[in-house]
Structure 1
Amino acid sequence: MATGSTSTNPVPLGIHHLKLPVTDLERSARWYGKVLGAHRLIELDHRRPDGTLFAVILDVPGLGTRLELRLDPDTATALDGYDFLTLAVNDRTALDRWTAHLDALDVPHSPPVVALVGWLLVVPDPDGLRLRLYTAAPHGLDPARIEYDSPWLSTGPAPESKPGR
């Protein structure tokens, strides 16, 4: 049994929804609709008592939960370049279909990247947050081929050099 775990721990049912900060609700809703086929659930729009809209809820095919776009320009700007969500696709052939789909929509994206286990495709949303598509099937390539230096493969901050090392 894992440390800190007991048989009396409550267990969640699953993910209720994902929340993503954006700078422009309508622009982002259109983008997620175009790229992922998301449908806005207008009946779930979030409005303040004065009627101003502050969030929209999207139903995204294949996501398994709903996606909330929350108007929060400061947070969205601060997260520019962060890879917030990784979606699974079957294999390299499926990834190539996504590439063709994105190209047909004229949506910028990375080339296929040799990631740690599978192939990776990175798609920046309108605020620069990075949606990732990752193959469930491993690429089977030699680990020396992993593209650690790719600007699309987030490997975290470089280790600090310490005196004497």
Structure 2
Amino acid sequence: MNPTATPPHAGIHHLKLPVTDLERSARWYTAVLGARRVEALDHRRPDGTLFAVILNVPGLGTRLELRLDPATCTALNGYDFLTLAVDDRTALDGWTVHLDALGVPHSPPVVAMAGWLLVVPDPDGLRLRLYTNAPHGLGPEHIEYDSPWLAPAPPDTVPAP
């Protein structure tokens, strides 16, 4: 084996997000993304205290860990941690209908660099993004560089914990 060669890996094992309230965040990701909790993989300290839950999220391709870590979560407020692909503007509009039916705050469709973008703050203000694979076909003069949804979270758009 070449000592300078990069050793192989088998892909992403899981993603980990900090949260301030495990149960609230697990309910949100279940409602919004159709996630299912894998209770057999709950993370507990020796005294039985729950500090993380594991979710299977359809289409994600790996598990999602919600880790109780209020300090990190607060520091990341407004950060866009995950961008999921959707086919096109029609699919993005379907997400708007879904989110509206749940009463979940979100951005309007935003003209991003190549496609349409929908930004959805989770209960802690971390931003889940949905981005179209199909390009919007608009010129660079239409890109919404100044959209508040592409900048750090404005205080009035972050749900209270």
Q: So what's the TM-score if we normalise by structure 1?
A: 0.89
Counterpart residue number, 1:39? 36
- Aligned with 1:11: secondary structure? coil
Deviation string for 1:29-76 (max 9, x for gaps)?
000000000000000000000000000000000000000000000000
2:79 matches 1:82: yes
Tell me by how many angstroms 1:141 deviates: 0.3
- Aligned with 1:76: secondary structure? helix
Deviation string for 1:95-149 (max 9, x for gaps)?
0000000000000000000000000000000000000000011111011000000
Aligned match for 1:91, one of 71, 88, 93: 88
Counterpart residue number, 2:121? 124
Aligned match for 1:59, one of 56, 61, 77: 56
Structure with greater Cα Rg = 1
Aligned match for 1:113, one of 110, 113, 132: 110
Work out the percentage of aligned pairs sharing the same amino acid: 81
Count of residue pairs the alignment pairs up:
150
Counterpart residue number, 1:10? 7
Aligned match for 2:145, one of 137, 144, 148: 148
| Structure 1 unmatched ranges of 5 or more | 1-5, 156-165
| Structure 2 unmatched ranges of 5 or more | 153-161
Counterpart residue number, 2:100? 103
Counterpart residue number, 1:158? none
Tell me by how many angstroms 1:11 deviates: 2.0
Q: State how far apart, in whole Å, the 2-side matches of 1:7 and 1:75 are.
A: 35
Tell me by how many angstroms 1:8 deviates: 2.2
Give the root-mean-square deviation of aligned CA atoms: 1.2
Which structure 1 residue ranges, 4+ long, deviate > 2 Å from structure 2?
none
Q: So what's the TM-score if we normalise by structure 2?
A: 0.91
2:70 matches 1:68: no
Tell me by how many angstroms 1:24 deviates: 0.1
- Where do residues 154-165 of structure 1 align in structure 2 (5 Å cutoff)? 154=151
Counterpart residue number, 2:22? 25
